[in-house]
Structure 1
Amino acid sequence: MLKYLLKRIVGTIPTLIIVVTFVFLFVRIIPGDPARLVAGEQATQQDVEAVRERLGLNKPVTTQYITYVSGLLHGDLGTSLRTKRPVLEEISGRFGNTVRLAAVTLLWSAIAGVLFGVWSGTHRGKWQDYTGMTVAVSGISLPSFWIGFLLIMLLAVKMKILPTTSSSDWKGLIMPSITLGLGIAAIIARFTRSSIVEILKEDYIRTARAKGIREKVVVWKHVFRNSMISVVTVVGLQFGFLLGGSVVTETVFAYPGLGSLLIESVNYRDYPAIQSLILIFSLQFIVINLLVDVLYAVLNPEIKLQ
């Protein structure tokens, strides 16, 4: 196991190098001049050039890249052009909010999605199946921004039981969590159903039934556990998406997470913040994929980590 983990960790280094390089180049083709934004609209061209020199934007791209990578290796993500604070402080101040929202959303959406998927898969072709999959398709099809505005109008404006924007208490998590979780629960439900249907066709399931084992035992002990191998992948990827922050949802609810920070940084052409956020998002997906591979072996000991 340790050898496998070390091999996977080393294998992520080329991926991170590619991500760092592409992100560095990509943010520099975004229209707009960050030096002009920092200097202000009333600044003269001479003032703008002075700001550009102070920020190092007048240097060759290769020099800027070397400086950026050198800073990363020393744990320095740079200074935000927008707030003049270290980018690490900007991210750490909002990372906790994103983790809290992601954890709450994934918890209820995974439970609901798996239950709906098992319910539909074990009643294939019956009204339970059609009902479950209709709900799942609806959850995937409805745009998140539409769901968000609908919840605000219904629960905040009409019924006045929740705040219109995210607050510091648990109430501020309800509407963003529902908006994010509906689509995720629907995706998990569809994958769970497909996996359940495939497992039910296996010979060992027919053998278990032929031995007279109760249907509930067959479903939850044999079918459910083996079907979770593919579902874990979906859950892991969705968790990575949630940790990356949902830009639309966080914008709709003014939620102070990483997604809204990314929007603010893009609008201000804040190169250091944009680069650091995308790098962190990529690293999160890499770590989650590694954890998913390890969970495969936990769920099914027959899988060997080679």
Structure 2
Amino acid sequence: MSVKSTWRSSFSTLVAIIIVIGLFGGFITLFYFLFKITNLNALTLMITAGIVGIPLFLGAGWYFRMTKEKSFRQNFALVQRLRDRNTSTDKSHVLSETITPSLETIGAVNIQASYEFPPRVSFNFPPDNKLSFLANVSLVLKSSEIITIDAILKNAYPFALSVRKTDTKETENAKFSSLYYVFSTRSSLIDTVSNNQNIRSILMKQALNIKSVTFNGKFVSGILKSPYEIYQILELIRLLYQEISIDDYGEVDVEELLCYSCGDLFETKEEKCDKCTASRPTCCVCLLDLKPSEKEDVVRTPCCEVYAHKNHILAWLEKNPKCPNCKKDLYLWIRALKQ
């Protein structure tokens, strides 16, 4: 806390105390003279003093309280600014000393770092790099334990795939199915990904680090915890992309994404409806978009009212009875949902 801020707080408190003492002294003096120069009895003067004095003292008390609250808010805001500045400095250090060198090691080019909050770095890969199928890659340090990665796929596919970490804390000797959920709009892709030993190996080793990877049309995104494992999530994205791209899926009907509230069309990567500002309809479990044709199979959680595929939220709650979004207990809701 700065000396200037402390001085202002002390001065405001002193002024408030002086005002209260002044009001009290003036009040006593006024009624002393009234008692001397008038024939009013003591009871009448006491009633008059109460009518006039109580609002004065309440007003003085209110002013004193507001002054203290304002001082507290100013001091709290100052502490928050200092904390944010220190946190931002730590993230910037991680960005410059850990992430950027790692990207250079794996052959990333056009690396551009921004140290404004939240710190981020954007980059690409040259044509001869095994990650060249990614374009406009961006890493954002959102918190000390959340790093997001977003990129554009140079070849788009009209379906979605999501791999998401469960909430289980036990990772030693755990089965793959208890650590990760695999979802896709193409059921055959779920088995293909789940049975790929290279994919399973990375996910099992990185169970405490990689939170999710999602392919959605021409976009891919992911969430991880450790800045030291950037290569691992990029390698996982590469392996998943291989499984997506090697198969011949033939013609696939592409369904437009509509707002569940007003029916307006959602643009690609648009998170809020232009017409009613409702959030993009996304399953809180598989993280994939909810198409209009799926509406009958979609439910909303009673706690935070996020959307989810009914079968996905049931699968989630059977392993963990807490909401995947707000973490509130949904044990009673499970029973109603199964009926």
TM-score above 0.5, yes or no: no
Q: Which structure has the greater CA radius of gyration?
A: 2
- Whose helix fraction is larger, Structure 1's or Structure 2's? 1
- Whose strand fraction is larger, Structure 1's or Structure 2's? 2
Q: TM-score, normalised by structure 1?
A: 0.21
Larger RCO: Structure 1 or Structure 2 (Cα < 8 Å, ≥ 6 residues apart)?
Answer: 1
